[in-house]
Structure 1
Amino acid sequence: MIRLGIIGAGAVAHFHAESAGRISNVQLAAVCDLQREPAERVASPWGAQVYTDYVAMFGEAGLDAVIINTPHALHLDMVLAAAEHGLHVLVEKPMATTVTDCDRMIQACRDAGVSLVIGQIQHFLPEKLAAEDVLAGGELGQVRMIRDYRTTDYRPGTRPEWFFSEAMAGGGALMNIGGHCLDRSIWFGGAPVESLNASTLKRFGVPVETDGAISLTLRNGVHVNVVVVSDATQRMDEVLIVCEHGTISCSPHSGTLVRSNGTTRTVWEPRPQDIQEGFFLQLQDFIRVLDGGTPKVSVEHARHIVEVVLASYAAAESGTPLVINESGDATNAKRILSEVP
């Protein structure tokens, strides 16, 4: 039996807890949050212990693994502590707020002989898996272009205060929501990012970016356009994949549709349980890793997303297109970037 702990009783904690309850060899043993009441709400349906100090939880709860679901800048210290206690770790995205922190997390878990998996949920959502199946089938040929558009809300009071702290969140809408867009677009595009340009906006009087646009070229020549807009007229979350012989539209709101030869067919229709199903599949993947399997999403991919977001900030600040050097110095985001001639 795998004894699992959760740190952070925020918005998605109940998805993790419910997923643990569906896997026969997993027991949700403990939940930790600085505020006891939210932790109790997540823990009580499963009879889990409640903590307000994660170090105490690591020392007392007899855990085998932990899910870290906390503000982004806290991931590093929590992963290092988990590794010291010999715990396998699933960390919510973004992996960290700097590339240096990503590398420290990877090295610490490697040295401790524990698994580190990053919760890039896009890879497990049913509508995205349907798109993956279509691409794998080959009927549409090679991916040539991707447009990813997602709305969000970064007005004051719309989310917990830490999201508006650059130090704690690592950025604003692009680090948080844009990270999802970059994750799935790089995944569907089939290669890491080679070059990019970006722009950001700070609206509503908040200190982090509320809107952003990134234009990327992947190392295989696929062009990607990512746009994140706050408080838009319509709620949107669509990735449009343009292939040689057709297109795929993928959205949790409208499902997954394929257009080819003048006709459209639906390959996935959205269901109320799709988000929960994604978290369940993600936890299943994590448990398979603990049994010696390979994670669906590599830590290198998750690290690259952080690298690209930071490069986007640098490009937006400088107003200059940037190249991400394949063999660059990963300890400093700005040092691995060079201007496009």
Structure 2
Amino acid sequence: MTQVRLGLIGSGGMARHHLNVLQGVSEATIVAITEPSEEQRAHTLERFPHLQEVPFFDDHRAMLEQVEMDGVIIVTPHTLHFQQAMDALDRGLHVMIEKPMVCTVEHARVLVQRFKETGKIGLVAYQRHYIPTYRYVYEGIRRGEIGELHFVQAINLQRWYRMTRGSWRQDPALSGGGQLNDTGSHLVDFLLWIADAPATKVSAFMQYFDVPVDINSALAFEYANGAIGNLSIIGSTTVGWHEEITVVGSEATYLIRQDQLEICDAQGNRFRPENLPAGSQPVINFVNAILGREEVQSTPEDGLKVIAFTEAAWQSAKAGGTPVPVQW
């Protein structure tokens, strides 16, 4: 195979980001798009006029039946991911899924097993696996740069409550949950990905205000190696976007502020690292994995770990913060 034929399921804002990246990937071609919204179709064609001849479908099943392709990219409301991915795998296709992979541990286990049974490429679009700053932290922990991992902390402030009001993101039937399952999913993934041990239990407190999904979340958790952490996802803020991550080791500390990395060594010296790893994009990795050129960097197993942690946090919040085991 030298050319990868891709179908797109959903063509909203994040899908258009992937389409933009694919314009620089000569080995990939979009051959069909599922998008029931005429408004989103118009936005997509306005930005990417070269797709004028690509067929659009209202339903992904019709697209899978009528168009020959090698893989699909799923960028739809969260609770739709599971069935769309299963349908694509049943057609023998490779599958890339926007985060979160799915919205229940049960679905995640089934999907991970189905990827194993079919041997098809599965990728969850957790982009921090591909961003140089975050890859540096992942690799630095593994080469022992900060010594023994002691503590991790992350906070995200986003005007999510106001920004998503009235949208599917605040409808649990489509979103599967609130901001922890949306923006927060990226930070959950990062904190689980960088550690050399799984999270074992989590305690959570959440605020919902006047909507049926979580808006603010304050979590404390523990890893199997004894390291501890906390995570705050705050959607009621007036701040458009602010994020901070701290990773404390016995010999050094990583400080990430608004995507910028600083290291504090054992003598208290603070500096910015040189020679960050090369960056990429999930969709580039997806195409290269299909072509046999690269291993998948953000796997369905990562997606399973994230929803297991998230589901445990939801259960803990319902129980008034009682710690709940993370079981995946």
**What RMSD in Å do the two structures reach over aligned CA positions?**
2.4
Q: Which runs of 4+ in 1 moved over 4 A?
A: none
Structure 1 residue 266: deviation in Å? Answer: 1.9
Could you tell me which runs of 5 or more consecutive residues in structure 2 were left unpaired when the two chains were aligned.
none
Structure 1 residue 119: deviation in Å? Answer: 1.4
Query: Partner of 2:158 in structure 1?
Result: 152
1:255 aligns with 2:260: yes
Contact 1:40–1:50 (8 Å) recurs in 2: no
Q: Structure 1 52/81 Cα, relative in aligned 2: closer, same or farther at 3 Å?
A: same
| Alpha-carbon distance in 2 for matches of 1:30, 1:131 | 38
1:82 aligns with 2:83: no
Contact 2:162–2:236 (8 Å) recurs in 1: no
The one of 156, 170, 184 aligned to 2:176: 170
Q: Which has the higher contact order (CA 8 A, sep 6+)?
A: 2
1:210 aligns with 2:210: no
Q: Structure 1 168/37 Cα, relative in aligned 2: closer, same or farther at 3 Å?
A: closer
Query: Partner of 2:71 in structure 1?
Result: 65
Local SS of the residue matching 1:155: helix
Residues 48-96 of structure 1: CA deviation (Å, up to 9, x unaligned): 4333222222122321111000111101111121112211100111111
Contact 2:105–2:304 (8 Å) recurs in 1: yes
Structure 1 residue 184: deviation in Å? Answer: 0.5
Query: Partner of 1:128 in structure 2?
Result: 134
Matches within 5 A, 1:321-336: 321-325=323-327
| Alpha-carbon distance in 2 for matches of 1:74, 1:289 | 24
| Alpha-carbon distance in 2 for matches of 1:101, 1:78 | 12
1:222 aligns with 2:227: yes
Residues 216-250 of structure 1: CA deviation (Å, up to 9, x unaligned): 10111111100011232543212111111221122
Could you tell me which runs of 5 or more consecutive residues in structure 1 were left unpaired when the two chains were aligned.
271-276, 331-341
The one of 104, 109, 131 aligned to 1:98: 104
| Alpha-carbon distance in 2 for matches of 1:256, 1:45 | 38
Normalised to the residue count of structure 2, the TM-score between the two structures is: 0.88
| Alpha-carbon distance in 2 for matches of 1:96, 1:311 | 15
Contact 2:159–2:238 (8 Å) recurs in 1: no
Letter in 2 for 1:34: P
Letter in 1 for 2:217: G
1:140 aligns with 2:146: yes
Query: How many residues align structurally?
Result: 317
Letter in 2 for 1:321: P
Matches within 5 A, 1:1-341: 1-43=3-45, 44-47=48-51, 48-156=54-162, 158=164, 161-203=167-209, 205-232=210-237, 234=239, 235-251=241-257, 253-260=258-265, 261-267=267-273, 280-292=280-292, 293-319=294-320, 320-325=322-327
Letter in 2 for 1:314: Q
| Alpha-carbon distance in 1 for matches of 2:164, 2:274 | 31
| Alpha-carbon distance in 2 for matches of 1:199, 1:88 | 38
| Alpha-carbon distance in 2 for matches of 1:132, 1:123 | 8
Contact 1:195–1:321 (8 Å) recurs in 2: yes
